[in-house]
A = this chain, B = another copy of it.
């Protein structure tokens, strides 16, 4: 069911059918992809429009799940062919994962075209796809207020110049520690962040997985812990869930100053902590806002020095 209503947040990224093996469990052909995790997380906070591509083999139940979460699918393309497939295995400590298989399929020729209803959305999250496609999406937006961009080592290695060009047009860049070091060729995260800020964005958000995240701006640094979990099942998509929840909460607050971003990070972080408790979107699908709010209060109190 498509809608003409303008979403408050537009997210572009990959949609995959994943096969994931952890030391304790293997799940086959489950719903994954950066835009799937990010839109699911954002949907708790704001009206979110998805931009992505699937093949005509894409299970109707996965589409129904997104619709049930209130995600606007007007920007979802369905093409002849197979949906992107990804398969990976986590090592014993869950810290490292190896990719076993990547089949681009319809994703190989993805050209993201935004429906008219999306173009005036104020918030935009350019999830992890080729920098040229991120730029193409950005250029279709008429009045973006705040743009977050994510990336990965692949693009840093093969499309560095284009990536830096797009980063310069965004308000905030998110990447993990090793990507920050790779992109800047700098070991110190403090030095890396300073260089990244010099390329244009007002904020650089460095993700450190279970060790939390760091928000750098010209004058400030904010340090946030991850919500501590006794156990979790699958960390796949945690970074996308974090970023999606963050952008959803930011859009909901309709405020983009640093205190607002700190609060939005808190929401993104706890949403991600729910997400990893189960595979795919299983935990997010039965999560409600009150649970998120309660965990956000808990995390805040765990970080408070009186």
A174-209 vs B, CB cutoff 8 Å, 1 = contact: the mask equals 000000000000011111000000000000000010
Contact partners of A266 in chain B: CB under 8 A: 305
Q: At the interface, yes or no: A139 with Cβ under 8 Å from chain B?
A: no
What is the number of residues of chain A that contact chain B, defined by CB distance less than 8 Å? 30
- Whole-angstrom distance between the alpha carbons of A102 and B187 in the complex? 31
In the complex formed, the residue of B with least CB distance to A299 is B223
In the complex formed, the residue of B with least CB distance to A229 is B190
A267-306 vs B, CB cutoff 8 Å, 1 = contact: the mask equals 0000000000000000000000000000000001011111
Contact partners of A223 in chain B: CB under 8 A: 225, 228, 302-303
Contact partners of A211 in chain B: CB under 8 A: 208, 211-212
- The reply to whether B228 and A221 form a contact with Cβ atoms under 8 Å apart is yes
**Docked complex: A129-153 residues within 8 A CB-CB of B:** none
- The reply to whether B225 and A190 form a contact with Cβ atoms under 8 Å apart is no
Q: At the interface, yes or no: A230 with Cβ under 8 Å from chain B?
A: yes
A216-246 vs B, CB cutoff 8 Å, 1 = contact: the mask equals 0000111111001111000000000000000
Q: At the interface, yes or no: A172 with Cβ under 8 Å from chain B?
A: no
- The reply to whether A259 and B306 form a contact with Cβ atoms under 8 Å apart is yes
A191: contacting residue among B189, B221, B230, CB under 8 A: B230
- Whole-angstrom distance between the alpha carbons of A287 and B212 in the complex? 30
Contact partners of A304 in chain B: CB under 8 A: 262
- Whole-angstrom distance between the alpha carbons of A263 and B300 in the complex? 16
A306: contacting residue among B187, B214, B262, B306, CB under 8 A: B262
- The reply to whether A263 and B222 form a contact with Cβ atoms under 8 Å apart is no
- The reply to whether B306 and A305 form a contact with Cβ atoms under 8 Å apart is no
A259, chain B: closest CB distance, angstroms: 5
- Whole-angstrom distance between the alpha carbons of A212 and B225 in the complex? 9
A interface residues (Cβ-Cβ under 8 A, vs B): 93, 187-191, 208, 211-212, 214, 220-225, 228-231, 259, 262-263, 266, 300, 302-306
Top 10 nearest A-B pairs by Cβ distance?
A: A190-B230, A223-B225, A211-B211, A259-B306, A223-B302, A262-B305, A221-B302, A188-B230, A300-B305, A303-B303
